[in-house]
């Protein structure tokens, strides 16, 4: 009897915890509300299955627990019931997978008007690069990295000279404009993670990975590293500020371009 009661309480307790507990996702700040919706659909379907299975089990224990003289039924198979349950499960799975794949298709299809933004990770620092007036990012290579050229830009690529470089500082983004986030690492695997954006992606040294998003509200958000990158992993923090267009432009005008960075490096030769 205690077993039945505890199984029922476990179901009720889990549901109450789900509804009443204060721990839930952060208010979203990007266009990926579809991800949240798919999550909610998944919660409903899986929640119903969980409640049904555990309560059914509790009922079986209540109804068919051993009493003297009891004898179990003998029923090796029931093809009809088994196929029915399998088909029902397949339908439930499809109901989660279909919207999931549709949203994934949006996730991997970057809109043409998305502006590029490069995030460069190293142990344990975030840097950023934005295209200059030409709207293009110049070429880069880990082999080109020096103390004056921390992101390894190619000095002979004209497209890179006007690139805006933010080394270790805050990142600003204009609200409502889609961004194609290009991710690069110069040492180990990192992961660019802003909980409010929902999207995240690993950054692999030797290749450029990407995702896209449109920031949908202004505010200041934490950037965290979400892939174990050594002992400083939890300290690898950054800040992204989503601005109105005018504020964004003001910030952008204050940043250094690659050209300016090289010039200042030449004025102060290394000791």
Give residues 153-182 in contact with other proteins (rule: CB under 8 A): none
Give me the torsion for CA of 164, 261, 154, 166, rounded to 10°.
-40
Q: Which stretch binds other proteins (CB under 8 A): 64-72, 170-178, 245-253, 254-262?
A: 64-72
CB 30: neighbour CB atoms within 10 A? 21
228 contributes a contact to other proteins by CB under 8 A: yes
25 contributes a contact to other proteins by CB under 8 A: yes
Distance CA 137, CA 153 (A): 9
> Quick one: 109 or 254, whose CB is closer to other proteins?
109
Least Å distance, CB 232 to other proteins, is 7
72 contributes a contact to other proteins by CB under 8 A: yes
Give me the torsion for CA of 201, 203, 206, 212, rounded to 10°.
40
- Tell me which residue has tokens 């009891």: 70
10 contributes a contact to other proteins by CB under 8 A: yes
> Quick one: 132 or 214, whose CB is closer to other proteins?
214
271 contributes a contact to other proteins by CB under 8 A: no
Token pair of 230 as six digits: 């050594």
252 contributes a contact to other proteins by CB under 8 A: no
Cα atoms found within 13 Å of the Cα of residue 56, Cβ hemisphere only: 6
**Is residue 186 helix, strand or coil?**
coil
> Quick one: 38 or 132, whose CB is closer to other proteins?
38
22 contributes a contact to other proteins by CB under 8 A: yes
Size of the site for other proteins (CB under 8 A): 100
Q: Using alpha carbons, select from 102, 253, 129, 113 the residue that is nearest to residue 180.
A: 113
Least Å distance, CB 2 to other proteins, is 9
Least Å distance, CB 206 to other proteins, is 3
Segment 184-203, which members bind other proteins (CB under 8 A)? 186-189, 191, 193, 195-196, 198-203
221 contributes a contact to other proteins by CB under 8 A: yes
Distance CA 22, CA 261 (A): 47
> Quick one: 86 or 133, whose CB is closer to other proteins?
86
Whether residue 170 contacts residue 238, with contact meaning beta carbons closer than 8 Å, is answered with yes
> Quick one: 38 or 174, whose CB is closer to other proteins?
38
Least Å distance, CB 146 to other proteins, is 9
Distance CA 125, CA 232 (A): 10
Whether residue 215 contacts residue 242, with contact meaning beta carbons closer than 8 Å, is answered with yes
Token pair of 199 as six digits: 């999207």
Q: Which residue from 5, 12, 33, 82 is in contact with other proteins, where contact means CB under 8 A?
A: 82
């Amino acid at each position: 009897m205690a077993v039945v009661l505890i199984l029922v309480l476990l179901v009720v307790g889990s549901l109450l915890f789900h509804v009443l507990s204060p721990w839930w996702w952060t208010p979203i700040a990007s266009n990926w509300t579809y991800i949240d919706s798919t999550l909610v659909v998944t919660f409903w379907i899986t929640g119903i299955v969980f409640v049904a299975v555990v309560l059914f089990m509790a009922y079986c224990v209540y109804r068919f627990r051993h009493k003297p003289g009891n004898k179990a039924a003998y029923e090796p198979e029931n093809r009809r019931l088994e196929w029915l349950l399998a088909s029902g499960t397949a339908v439930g799975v499809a109901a989660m997978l279909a919207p999931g794949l549709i949203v994934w298709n949006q996730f991997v299809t970057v809109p043409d008007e998305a502006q590029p933004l490069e995030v460069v990770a190293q142990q344990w620092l975030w840097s950023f690069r934005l295209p200059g007036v030409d709207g293009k990012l110049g070429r880069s290579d880990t082999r080109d990295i020096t103390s004056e050229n921390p992101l390894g830009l190619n000095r002979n690529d004209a497209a890179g000279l006007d690139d805006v470089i933010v080394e270790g500082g805050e990142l600003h983004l204009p609200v409502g404009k889609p961004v194609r986030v290009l991710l690069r690492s110069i040492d180990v695997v990192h992961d660019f993670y802003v909980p409010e954006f929902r999207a995240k992606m690993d950054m692999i040294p030797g290749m450029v990975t990407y995702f896209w998003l449109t920031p949908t509200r202004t505010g200041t958000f934490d950037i965290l590293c979400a892939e174990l990158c050594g002992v400083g992993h939890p300290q690898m923090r950054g800040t992204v500020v989503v601005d109105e267009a005018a504020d964004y432009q003001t910030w952008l005008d204050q940043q250094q371009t690659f050209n300016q960075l090289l010039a200042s490096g030449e004025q102060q030769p290394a000791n």
